[in-house]
Structure 1
Amino acid sequence: MARHAFRFAPSPNGLLHLGHAYSALLNWRMAKAEDARFLVRIEDTDITRCTIAHAAQILDDLAWLGLGWEEPVRVQSEHFADYEENISRLWAMDAVYPCFCSRKESLAHAREEKDPDGVPLYGGTCRNLSRDEAERRIAAGEQYGWRLKASGDTALWGDAVIAKPRVGSWYHIAVVTDDHLQGITHVVRGKDIEAATPLHIKLQKLLGFATPLYTHHDLIRDEAGDKLSKSAGSPSLLSLRQNGVTAEKVRAELGFG
């Protein structure tokens, strides 16, 4: 029987903060408890925001925390062909379709209901385009995203966008593809991503992939009760290190002393 596998998969569009440290340490500890594999994956498909420098700093911060992981580290920007292949499989089975609507057009024809992120559900303008018409528009160079046709547990998202090739947004299809290829059996991530899990499970079923065991942990919050985030300028691990905070203190503060 194959060993269980856990992973920590940050995006190098900024520096790690204590919330990332908690998630990484939790996955690492759970993997050790089960004598399982622990992997690190760099999710850098958004090439406009992710940098090599941030990716290198992430690995340095994780090593500073005392974590070890299985090599090689999978870097998503090196594997676009894997994601494109699975999009093609989904299109062949009529589970997805290309959507050429701009954000403004999508909102103009949106439904009244909203998805878990608070965005009005897509009105379905491109859902019934013929394959010939869709292929013609793709060949003509129009920008588009791939939408997953909603059904069952994914209805709360409507026809969710699972990839936008032109802007490097591949999260949903990439994470499902990589978890499969890397043999991930346990996905342990924050509750802020919990609503996306039905989308991932549906993609796994469509593609014939095994579904990992999902666990969604509480988020680390600041004194005001807000979750830590890069966009909010939460203190980074690098800044803590530069101010003399030790890895032992960080681990103890997060409950991993």
Structure 2
Amino acid sequence: MNKSAVDHFSYTSREYSFSRPFYPVVLYKYLSDITLDNSIAWDCATGNGQAAIGLCKYFKKVIASDASGGQLDYQFNRGNIDYQMFPAENADLKDESIDLVTVAQAAHWFDLDKFYKEVKRVGKRNSILAIWSYGMHKIDDDIDKISARLNVDGDLLEKYWPKETSYVKEDYKTIPFPFKEIAAPKFEMTINWSLDELVSYMQTWSAVKRFSKDKNSNPLNLIIAELEKLWGKRDIQKTVKWDINIRVGKIQR
């Protein structure tokens, strides 16, 4: 993971801990079903352990690693999760020791050649690698048009999104993936949020941080009035959805 990414995620650690949606249980169940042995999973770039706590219900042990100490400060503790600090490209793991490798919303930050080399080193024969991302949230057509202004190709934040997020915009279809691919079912995240909860989530975006630093103002202030008109009372909860874009492959030698 490049240094700027580590610095950014360390800075927003607490916000990430409280403002990010959780992945669906069916995703973890699917990954456990296609993994030959459910002994050890490695959740790479775990952040505060958002994916690790889902995996730990299906695997005897989860090694949850991150290059950012700030993220790990807000970890979700479970008895069978072992949190460790090391970069994805230089894993402190034994050869051929891992049954499943997961990367949630982070693979686009990696030096992928180095990371994939590590995956092939630590993965058991025919073990599984799963990387996934999610893009812009969906609520309804009118609100989604406003949200689109903040997207990678939107008029407000286009130049403030890091180049790595192009893979996310392209639904991970173009991210390098040199493994024997397995066709995965479609998954989505769904949560009921108030307007304030949605704004707190958007506040964690790297592009929002960059805009705020450059302009000395918050870009969310440019759209909040429109959102309030469409939302109604701020404490009304609306259903927010994200498509999960997943690539799954078999680690072979």
Please give the TM-score of this superposition, normalised by the length of structure 1. Answer: 0.31
Larger radius of gyration: 1
Please give the TM-score of this superposition, normalised by the length of structure 2. Answer: 0.32
